[in-house]
């Protein structure tokens, strides 16, 4: 089974279990996750978020909307213009 197929067939219960394992660093039976297991679980959780959940429900989402509907600060995904000053 491919990683993509696994994410496609993952149930919400499995997703929650993997997410909890990443948060705690251990499996439900108390056994610690290896670094490789933690990385794989984290990748699965993020992939599930991207394909199955709305943006505001995804892991790591930061709501930048003020009560009036405007945004706090600038959009972090927009490129910044760098000005290089040469002191000569």
Give yes or no for a contact between 41 and 18, defined as CB atoms under 8 angstroms apart: yes
Would you state the torsion angle of the CA atoms of residues 21, 55, 51, 37, taken in this order, to the nearest 10 degrees?
A: -20
Q: How confident is the model over 42-51, as a mean pLDDT? A: 91
> What mean pLDDT do residues 17-45 have?
94
Per-residue pLDDT tens over the stretch 18-29: 999 999 999 989
Q: Which two tokens stand for residue 87?
A: 């002191």
Q: Which residues contact 11 (CB under 8 A, 6 or more apart)?
A: none
pLDDT digits (tens, 9 = 90+) for 69-86: 676 666 667 777 777 887
Is this structure's pTM higher than 0.75? no
Q: Give the model's pLDDT for residue 87.
A: 72
């Amino acid at each position: 089974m491919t990683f993509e197929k696994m994410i496609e067939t993952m149930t919400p219960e499995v997703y929650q279990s993997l997410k909890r394992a990443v948060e705690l660093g251990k499996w439900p039976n108390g056994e610690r996750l290896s670094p490789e297991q933690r990385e794989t679980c984290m990748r699965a959780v993020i992939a599930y978020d991207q394909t199955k959940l709305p943006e505001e429900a995804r892991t790591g989402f930061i709501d930048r909307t003020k009560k009036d509907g405007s945004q706090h600060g600038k959009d972090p995904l927009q490129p910044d213009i760098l000005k290089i000053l040469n002191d000569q």
